[in-house]
Amino acid sequence: MINQKIAKIFYQMAEYYVMDDVAFKPQAYERAGRLIESMEEDLEEIYKKGGAKALMEIEGVGQGIADKIEEFIKAGKIKEYEKLRKDCPVDLEHLSAIEGIGPKMIKVLYEKLKVKTVEDLEKAAKKHLVQKLPRFGPKVEENILRGIEFSKGDKGRFLLGYILPLARQIEKRLQDLDFVERAVAAGSIRRKKETIGDIDILAISDKPEKVMEHFCAMPEVEEIIAKGETKSSVRLDIGLDADVRVLPSESFGAALQYFTGNKDHNIVLRKMAQDKRLKLNEYGLFRGKKQVAGKTEEEVYKILGLKWMEPELRENTGEIEASRGSELPKLVGYKDVRGDLQMHSDWSDGAHSIEEMAQAAKKLGHEYIAITDHTGELRIAGGMDEKTILKYFAEIEKIDKEQKGIRILKGLEVNIRKDGSLDISDEILAKADIVLASVHSNFKMSVQDITERICCAMENPQVDIIAHPTARVIQRRSGYEVDFAKLLECAKRTGTVLEINAYPDRLDLNDVHIKKAVQAGVKLSIGTDSHSKTQLGNIELGIVQARRGWAEKKDTINTMGYEELVKFLKNEK
């Protein structure tokens, strides 16, 4: 898809304009980037079908943005962007991905130290040149080095939220061929891990050579790494590898099991097979030369004395023991979730109106949503003051009455200040249906202080949910350090819900935290934190994460009906 490429350029343009202190343009390009990135239709397709006019018809795309998109489709580049790049030719994408580094710092680093890449920056920081720059200092330099180390952690991995649509497209493409009986993405994609190292496709077909032809000729293929008779491997244009393997149907279950993994889960299974004098591999389960199972995953697990388990559980973190003892959780289902409990409208930093968000959510099948715009002190996100909040509540009530088939909760996302107090008075909070509280600033506090800060917010009876409780951003920052056991204890005692934020690079809480919350009996809520209506589909990622954390229907409050939820929010604390 061309969308990701254009979105990337728009994000960089936004950053260049921040660098140069240009007003409005940063927000406009950032918004456009977000919109395009989460669109399902390919811009090139839209343009091919309807020209520039069709681009303009996309919600949220105006003349200026449409022109840029057209320019990129026609010329493969955008002049305005090329000019910005020429003035400051740095690897903006990777530099700004390092925690604590913003566009303005990048400009200074380039002008004073000729830093163009992350490697340049690492070298300069190690030589202590960075701390000598005005407004940098030793502490900033130290943080930069720590940020670089962190970003090395998952190099080359991609966010599930970006890869899932692509993997599904590849699956479908193969599936649609009449000589392919089945095609499935296995590996970390099937387990829905938060980041993906490569795409592993399995297919059943009696014409493997034709599958290889089609697979290697896909439009995203940049390089063919290996093309065999039943197995091929390619590098896609986004820098991700994809493999395909064709198998006979009698081995498909065994292969699906094997290539879904994870590796540790497989190792335990293989050992269990050996203990039964069997041999397990990707072709089946064998006694001597005789295949005793392999057509389906169920029969492989069954002969090993296990119940089939959901791929999201297969991380060798207790699922094998649970399966043996018939104690597997009944994971919350994708259809169990009835609403979305965090999103932003154009009352703060969202791209769409409350009405547009509600209509899009209804289309997705939601029974209710909470609009949770930012408050007061978060000025960069267009936070509302108390006077504005009252108008905003009135507007939500009005739209709630007008819209049929979906209910809208009056929500807020308030800021937890450094001292644990909130930036909005209890009086105003009492008028909301749902209050999310979160930390958006001053992350660098001691573990005790940050834990106390959040617990203090939980003590407030108006606070229903702590949003993105650890503040991590995947591949960007680790979040603040917090005593999670204490947080759970406090959430349980005060009846506060913890959020599973479904934004693709947040997924906060993560799977390990969710499992602990479930064990502690703390309730969870799923919110997409959408900033445009095209992001509402990310609810799936939140459900995925809940499932990876062994959450059941009863553990997440989004599975309640509207009336039950409203009652719960009134009485939980």
Q: H/E/C letters for each residue in 447-498?
A: HHHHHHHHHHHHHCCCCCEECCCCCCECCCECCCCCCHHHHHHHHHHHCCEE
Nearest to 310 by CA among 279, 265, 280, 276: 265
Q: Specify the stretch interacting with Ca ion by CB under 5 A; choose among 191-199, 365-373, 413-421, 471-479.
A: 191-199
Of the two residues 12 and 232, which places its CB atom closer to ligand DGT in the complex?
232
User: Should residue 187 be labelled a site residue for Ca ion when binding is judged by CB under 5 A?
Assistant: yes
Which of 188, 415, 460, 532 forms a contact with ligand DGT (CB under 6 A)?
A: 188
Q: Does 196 bind ligand DGT (CB under 6 A)?
A: yes
Binding positions for Zn ion, 262-321, rule CB under 5 A? none
Please identify the residue of the shown chain whose CB is closest to the bound ligand DGT: 261
Based on CB atoms, which residue is closest to Ca ion, 188 or 510? Answer: 188
Question: Is residue 329 part of the contact set for Ca ion (CB under 5 A)?
Answer: no
Interaction between residue 187 and ligand DGT (CB under 6 A): yes
Tokens of 1: 């898809």
- When asked if residue 197 is in the footprint of ligand DGT (CB under 6 A), the reply is yes
Tokens 């105006």, located at residue: 62
| Binding partner of residue 407 among ligand DGT, Zn ion, Ca ion, none, CB cut-off 5 to 8 Å per kind | none
The verdict on 529 binding ligand DGT (CB under 6 A) reads: no
User: Is 420 within 8 Å of 457 (Cβ atoms)?
Assistant: yes
Among 194, 198, 373, 400, contact with Ca ion (rule: CB under 5 A): 198
Cα–Cα distance, 318 to 316 (Å, whole number): 6
- Phi and psi based region of residue 272 (left: phi greater than 0; alpha: psi -120 to 50; beta: remaining): alpha
Size of the site for ligand DGT (CB under 6 A): 14
Among the listed ranges 96-104, 147-155, 196-204, 299-307, the one in contact with Ca ion (CB under 5 A) is 196-204
Q: Which amino acid type is present at position 226?
A: A
Q: Which stretch binds ligand DGT (CB under 6 A): 93-101, 123-131, 193-201, 544-552?
A: 193-201
Instruction: Write out the binding residues for ligand DGT, residues 360-389 only, by CB under 6 A.
Output: none
Q: What does the CA dihedral 158, 164, 165, 168 come to, rounded to 10 degrees?
A: 130
323 vs 438 by CB, closer to Zn ion: 438
Burial class (CB in 10 A: 0-12, 13-18, 19+), 2: middle
Q: Closer CB to ligand DGT, residue 78 or residue 163?
A: 163
Distance of alpha carbon 549 from alpha carbon 380, whole angstroms: 33
Residue 438 or residue 535: which is nearer to Zn ion going by CB?
Answer: 438
- Interface stretch with Ca ion, choices 6-14, 180-188, 331-339, 413-421 (CB under 5 A): 180-188
Q: How crowded is residue 329: how many other Cβ atoms within 10 Å of its Cβ?
A: 18
Nearer to ligand DGT, 101 or 256 (CB): 256
Alpha helix locations (H) across 249-333?
252-260, 263-275, 297-303, 319-324
On whether the CB atoms of residues 143 and 100 are closer than 8 A, the answer is: yes
**Checking DSSP bridges between strand 198-205 and strand 195-196, what pairing results, if any?**
unpaired
200 part of the interface to Ca ion, by CB under 5 A = yes
Nearer to Ca ion, 225 or 430 (CB): 225
Smallest distance, ligand DGT to C-beta of residue 296, A: 18
Length of the chain in residues, anyone? Answer: 573
Tell how strand 434-438 and strand 284-287 pair up.
unpaired
CB-nearer residue toward ligand DGT: 267 or 394: 267
Give the C-alpha separation, 107 to 255, whole Å. 51
> According to CB under 5 A, which residues from 405 to 444 bind Zn ion?
438
Which residue lies nearer to Ca ion by CB, 188 or 372?
A: 188
Give the burial string for 176-208 (b: 16+ CB within 10 Å, else e).
Answer: ebeebeebbbbbbbbbbbbbbbbbbbbbbbeeb
Examine residue 155 and tell whether it contacts ligand DGT (CB under 6 A): no
State the burial class of residue 114 (Cβ atoms within 10 Å of its Cβ: 0-12, 13-18, 19+).
exposed
The yes or no reply on residue 259 touching ligand DGT (CB under 6 A) is yes
Q: Which is nearer to Zn ion, 438 or 475 (CB)?
A: 438
Tell me the closest approach of the beta carbon of residue 305 to ligand DGT, in angstroms. 19
261 part of the interface to ligand DGT, by CB under 6 A? yes
Q: How far apart are CB 66 and ligand DGT at their closest, in Å?
A: 37
Closest separation between CB of residue 200 and ligand DGT, Å? Answer: 5
Residue 267 touches which member of ligand DGT, Zn ion, Ca ion, none, C-beta under 5-8 Å by kind:
ligand DGT
- Determine the Cα–Cα distance for residues 283 and 295; give it in Å rounded to an integer: 9
Are the CB atoms for 217 and 177 separated by under 8 Å? Answer: no
Q: In the structure encoding, which two tokens stand for residue 120, read together?
A: 């340049």
Select the residue interacting with ligand DGT from 74, 86, 263, 335 (CB under 6 A): 263
Contacts with Zn ion by CB under 5 A: the residue count is: 1
Q: Per rule CB under 6 A, is residue 47 in the interface with ligand DGT?
A: no
User: CB of 310: closest distance to Zn ion in angstroms?
Assistant: 30
Pairing relationship of beta strands 198-205 and 465-466 according to DSSP bridges: unpaired
94 phi, psi to nearest 5 deg = -80, -35
**Helices and strands in the chain: count of H runs, count of E runs:** 24, 17
Any contact of residue 340 with Ca ion (CB under 5 A)?
A: no
Cβ 185 to ligand DGT, closest distance in Å?
A: 9
CA distance 487 to 25: 40
**Which residue number, 259 or 301, has a Cβ lying nearer to ligand DGT?**
259
Q: Which range of residues in 95-103, 256-264, 324-332, 385-393 is near ligand DGT by CB under 6 A?
A: 256-264
| Region of 163-171, 196-204, 356-364, 554-562 interacting with ligand DGT (CB under 6 A) | 196-204
- Give the interface segment with Ca ion, choosing from 186-194, 221-229, 447-455, 547-555 (CB under 5 A): 186-194
- Burial category of 366 from C-beta neighbours within 10 Å (exposed 0-12, middle 13-18, buried 19 and up): buried
Residues near Ca ion (CB under 5 A) are: 187-188, 198, 200
Under the rule (CB under 5 A), what is the footprint of Zn ion? 438
- Positions that interact with ligand DGT (CB under 6 A): 187-188, 193, 196-198, 200, 258-259, 261-263, 266-267
